[in-house]
Structure 1
Amino acid sequence: MKQRFLFVFLIGSIMTTTAQVPENAEDICPILVGQQIPKVSLLDLNNQSVDLIELVKEKSTVLVIYRGGWCPFCSSHLGALNNMEKDIQQLGYQLIAISPDEVVDLINPEAGEQVSYRLFSDPQAQFIKSIGVAFKTPAGLSGYIASKKPKGSVSEIMPVPTLLVINTQGEVEFTYINPNYKQRISGDMLLAVLKSLK
């Protein structure tokens, strides 16, 4: 009886976890200002595990979540952020970016973009799910993604593009989360936000 109960409980837990990932980007329930980011491990470009909590303890952080190296809008946004990284650093922040892509796919070599800040892979999309910005990858997009990242796999879920400002205690101080993936926060707005938080 106990074994049966445990089995049913586990199945129920799995179903609940799956159900928590919405079908559409408009239906996400994201992390709020004042909440703490979860304790998760990420992978850096050398496939080394990095504790996100320890990472943000180093310095207040501008954390960007992007769909992947396959996304031209994300590549453009990453490039724009790279151009203003020094301004961000002068205000006392570090800049990092996270994608559910495998490490090999974090940057699209065809796009030719290079960034000086740190990029991380979110294995099994643990982080994006835990902060509520994950939704199911549209079936019609899977083929396009696969064509742009032949060395990696296509995840069943993807993130709504997100920007968080996080203090060294791991508390979220600002969020920009837009289900319209073509719309990203402007550089001027980001710098204004960072100045207002100091």
Structure 2
Amino acid sequence: MILGLISRLKRWYAIPYLLICIAVSSQSLYQLFTDSRFSLSWLGALVAVGPLVLFMSLVYTFPYTRVVRFIAIPVIMALLGALLTVVEMRPLPTFYTLFFGLGGVLVYVFWYTYLDRSDNVLLKKGAYLADFTVSSLAGEKVSTSSFLGKKVLWVFFRGNWCPMCQSQLAHLAEEYETLRERGIELALISPQSREKSAQQQSRLSVSIPFYMDEDNNAARTLGIVHRYGVPLGILGYGHDTVLPTVVVTDESGKIIYVDLTDNFRIRPSVETIIASLDQAWIKLGCSVVGWNQ
């Protein structure tokens, strides 16, 4: 119940907060250019709130995967803005700076980006992947049993609306041949519509199989449903999605690698996955070349 409430609060946070920050930045600029005297308080409000607007705009315009847990520049600028605004302590810009600037960016970094996922006993190294069924872009039902005899990299992603997911998929496409050389099949799974996955597939440099998890049935089987994970204002995706999850299984369906990120901005790089698999394979007494055999 508590996790459900937290998820709802996070769903209501992102887009409304971004719109408020845009409004505060616009008002701060207006006041700086129209006030008869220069105001450190309004400059502080702009410095505190503006960088986060710019950061989020860049993320959605030029999607990329964050490899660090904390975003330094918006935090530093929010602190600098707070120092500027308290010099004059004008009530309105000071409130904007401390509440929407410093407070908002700290909430984003230390609360909003975390996924609040609980321990998952089904997705552990050495366990066998639970059986589930998904649909191909052609509409065919595909079960995990049809992948037996193959090494498979399963990637559960949230949808086209998520810039970190887009970056993750683009990186996988860049390293697709490296994975294939090791005999690894890819399966990209999301709860979004078949049409949206087809659009995402067309944007990649190679043709990687996409699958649709209708009503999050596979995610529910694996315990990785993210209730109310789609931000308010993102249309066409419902309100539930999947927790970003990466799993690698061997020919028998046994899990040999798993990443259950607790921060949606952090995804495992393909290099990290490959290095972990190579190391695991060497420990079994085989050469890396053996992946193809």
Report the structure number with the largest CA radius of gyration. Answer: 2
Q: How far off its partner does 1:29 sit?
A: 3.1
1:116 to 199, 204, 207: 207
Q: Which residue of the partner structure matches residue 35 of structure 1? A: 127
Aligned position for 2:142: 50
Task: Compute the TM-score of the two structures, normalised by the length of structure 1.
Answer: 0.76
What's the counterpart of residue 135 of structure 1? 226
- Specify the SS of the correspondent of 1:33: coil
State the TM-score, normalized to the length of structure 2: 0.53
Query: Which protein is richer in strand relative to its size?
Result: 1
Q: Distance in 2 between matches of 1:83 and 1:136?
A: 31
Which ranges of structure 1 fall in alignment gaps of 5 or more residues? Answer: 1-18
Residue in 2 that maps onto 1:167: 250
CA deviations over 1:93-150 (Å, ceiling 9, x no partner)? 11111101121122546x94454211101111111122122121247x1322x1xx4x
- 1:36-72 Cα deviation digits (max 9, x unpaired): 22222111111111112212x1411111110012211
1:195 has 2:287 as partner? no
Instruction: Supply the AA of the counterpart residue of 1:64.
Output: V
**Correspondence for 1:12:** none
Distance across 1 between alignment mates of 2:210 and 2:168: 13
Change (3 A) 1:124 1:189: same
Q: Deviations over 1:169-196 (max 9, x none)?
A: 1111111111211111112211101212
Say if 1:186 and 1:176 are closer, same or farther in 2 by CA, change over 3 A.
Answer: same
Contact 2:249/2:255 (8 A) holds in 1: yes
Equivalent-residue separation in structure 1 for 2:229 and 2:182 (angstroms): 38
Give yes or no for contact 2:173–2:204 (8 Å, CA) kept in 1: no
Identity level (%): 20
Aligned residues: 168
Q: Alignment partner for residue 92 of structure 1, among 174, 183, 189? A: 183
- Structure 1 segments (4+ residues) deviating >6 Å: none
CA RMSD of aligned residues (A): 2.1
5+ residue gaps, structure 2, are 8-114, 282-293
